[in-house]
């Protein structure tokens, strides 16, 4: 009988250990990684990973550098992300603490009365003081897997913070560049309105001389009103962009008025085009790194759920000193020590454990699908950014030539007017056309700068491990 019991116990332990071996973390999800970009433009120089960390410095704009520094120090979204990292670290400590024994100090005192010794009841005081310890022997790794999941969640929160930083810096730069572009357009449109008013005065003079019609005057007035409406939109845009930058910097808009209200030109230089490959996104994009960490956490959670099928062993110990004081008996004082081993084996739970395993497995499948989608989305964003940048550069070149031709036409109109070949209205009209071309070129120049910001954002630029570590300490 004893031999049979030993054989049965050995087989039971072997089955537990064999089942436990299946709870190892799954292999990483494989994704299809292209070797090259489909739309990357040819570049003489290419930015490196180091350049990605502080890509905005490539614009060589001190004001932009100052705005970025302020955003890193005071942006509210970054502060929220840092707090989430602290929270995740605390939960990781909670999960890891289960791997170690718990030790507690205990003390109790009581007053007892017994009526067994009649006619006089026995009254006594009992007290105990000592230390109690308990430790769950993690034989099948359930607690260890939970600790791994918590550690992976901490990494995911760190990557989420980096993703927030990438987005904040890109938004600061985009808003700033659009603000400078809008300020330049305001100057051009204001000058254009002045020219249109001169045209109106000229037409009114011709009308009084009988050389023009009311239709010409009405058309010119309509053109002025249209330009004034465009100026109002640009003024509104500059105010909104200034307000947005202030929010990103965690400041009231009034604090930045002196810095941003004065018009300034767009940066004359651009950062280099990133020279990274599609495979480099795994190391550079925080959202992909976060998805990887979440995949690890989900796999560890599944492994932990499977260990609930196996028994749990708890080792407990208690030691101390106690006393029993019974009247009229003498005090009984002595040391107390106890050592025990508890075992809990699930027998019936109405399918709860199996359902929990199924849910954890489904969760892992969801996270794996999201991981693949995150990488595909990253590829899409980079390719779109390449196309947008190339298109913006081509458009800028065409509009630059158009502005040059418009300036040449204005010069010819002035020469013809001096020779008496054309009237002054042709000169004014040529000047208006030139300013319209300048306005379109200003839009194109802004689009080129903004497209470069979008490109660096798509590559996940704007963070370093050192920056994140410093931020977490705040």
What is the biggest distance separating any 2 CA atoms in the chain, rounded to whole angstroms?
A: 141
Scanning 317-423, the segments in alpha helix (DSSP H) are 352-419
Q: Is residue 10 in a domain?
A: no
Rounded distance between C-alpha atoms, residue 124 and residue 349, angstroms? 45
Q: Is residue 1 in a domain?
A: no
Supply the pLDDT for residue 117.
52
Q: Is residue 316 in a domain?
A: no
Q: What is the pTM of this model?
A: 0.85
Domain count, the chain: 1
Rounded distance between C-alpha atoms, residue 25 and residue 303, angstroms? 7
Q: What is the pLDDT along the chain (474 residues), one digit of tens a residue?
A: 444 334 334 434 444 444 444 444 455 577 889 999 999 887 666 667 677 999 999 999 999 999 999 999 999 999 999 999 999 999 999 999 999 998 888 887 766 665 555 455 555 667 678 888 888 888 899 999 999 999 999 999 999 999 999 999 999 999 999 999 999 999 999 998 998 898 889 888 888 888 778 888 888 898 899 899 999 999 999 999 999 999 999 999 988 888 898 899 999 999 999 889 999 999 999 999 999 999 999 999 999 999 999 998 888 888 877 766 655 555 556 677 788 888 888 988 899 999 999 999 999 999 999 999 999 999 999 999 999 999 999 999 999 999 999 888 888 877 876 777 777 778 788 888 888 899 999 999 999 999 999 999 999 999 987 665 545 445
Each as own residue / partner, the long-range contacts of residues 396-405 (CB below 8 Å, 24 or more positions apart, any chain) are 396/441, 396/444, 396/445, 396/447, 396/448, 399/437, 399/440, 399/441, 399/443, 399/444, 400/441, 400/444, 402/437, 402/440, 402/441, 403/434, 403/437, 403/438, 403/440, 403/441, 405/437
Q: Is residue 133 in a domain?
A: no
Rounded distance between C-alpha atoms, residue 354 and residue 362, angstroms? 12
Q: Is residue 338 in a domain?
A: no
- Domain of residue 411 covers 40-99+138-310+345-472
Q: Is residue 230 in a domain?
A: yes
Q: Is residue 285 in a domain?
A: yes
List the CATH number of the domain containing 379.
1.20.1600.10
Distance (Å) of CA 137 to CA 98, 100, 143, 144, 344: 10, 9, 9, 11, 12
Residue 411 tokens, joined: 């010069």
Supply the pLDDT for residue 105.
87
Distance (Å) of CA 53 to CA 44, 65, 76, 148, 285: 20, 13, 21, 29, 12
Neighbours of 398 (CB within 10 A): 13
What letter would DSSP give residue 345?
A: -
Rounded distance between C-alpha atoms, residue 438 and residue 188, angstroms? 7
Distance (Å) of CA 144 to CA 11, 64, 365: 25, 47, 22
Q: Is residue 18 in a domain?
A: no
């Amino acid at each position: 009988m004893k031999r049979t019991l030993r054989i049965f116990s050995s087989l039971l332990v072997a089955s537990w250990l064999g089942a436990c071996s299946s709870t190892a973390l799954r292999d990483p999800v494989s994704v299809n990684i292209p070797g090259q970009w489909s739309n990357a433009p040819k570049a003489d120089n290419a930015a490196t990973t180091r350049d990605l960390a502080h890509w905005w410095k490539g614009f060589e704009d001190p004001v932009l550098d100052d705005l970025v520094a302020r955003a890193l120090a005071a942006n509210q979204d970054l502060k929220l992300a840092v707090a989430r990292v602290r929270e995740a670290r605390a939960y990781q400590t909670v999960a890891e603490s289960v791997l170690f024994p718990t030790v507690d100090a205990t003390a109790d005192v009581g007053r007892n009365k017994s009526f067994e010794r009649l006619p006089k009841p026995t009254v006594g005081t009992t007290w105990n003081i000592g230390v109690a310890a308990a430790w769950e022997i993690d034989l099948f790794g359930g607690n260890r897997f939970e600790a791994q999941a918590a550690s992976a969640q901490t990494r995911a929160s760190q990557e989420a913070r980096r993703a927030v930083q990438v987005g904040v810096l890109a938004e600061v730069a985009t808003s700033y560049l659009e603000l400078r572009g809008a300020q330049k357009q305001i100057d051009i449109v204001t000058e254009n309105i002045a020219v249109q008013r001169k045209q109106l005065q000229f037409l009114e003079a011709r009308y009084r001389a009988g050389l023009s019609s009311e239709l010409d005057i009405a058309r010119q007035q309509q053109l002025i009103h249209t330009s004034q409406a465009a100026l109002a939109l640009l003024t509104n845009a500059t105010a909104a962009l200034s307000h947005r930058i202030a929010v990103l910097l965690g400041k009231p808009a009034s604090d930045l008025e002196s810095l941003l209200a004065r018009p300034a030109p767009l940066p004359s230089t651009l950062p280099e085009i990133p020279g990274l490959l599609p495979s480099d996104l795994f190391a550079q994009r925080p959202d992909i790194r976060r998805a990887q960490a979440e995949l690890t956490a989900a796999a560890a959670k599944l492994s932990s759920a499977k260990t609930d099928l196996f028994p749990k062993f708890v080792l407990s110990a208690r030691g101390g000193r106690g006393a029993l004081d019974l009247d009229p008996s003498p005090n009984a004082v002595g040391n107390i020590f106890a050592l025990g081993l508890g075992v809990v084996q699930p027998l019936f739970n109405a399918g709860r454990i199996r359902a929990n395993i199924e849910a954890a497995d489904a969760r892992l499948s969801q996270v794996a699908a999201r991981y693949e989608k995150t990488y595909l989305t990253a590829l899409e964003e980079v390719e779109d950014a390449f196309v947008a940048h190339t298109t913006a550069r081509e458009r800028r070149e065409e509009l630059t030539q158009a502005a040059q031709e418009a300036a040449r036409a204005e010069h010819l109109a002035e020469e013809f007017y001096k020779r008496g070949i054309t009237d002054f209205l042709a000169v004014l009209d040529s000047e208006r056309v030139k300013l319209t071309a300048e306005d379109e070129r200003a839009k194109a120049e802004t689009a080129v700068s903004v497209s470069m910001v979008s490109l660096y954002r798509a590559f996940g630029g704007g963070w370093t491990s050192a920056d994140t570590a410093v931020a977490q300490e705040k």
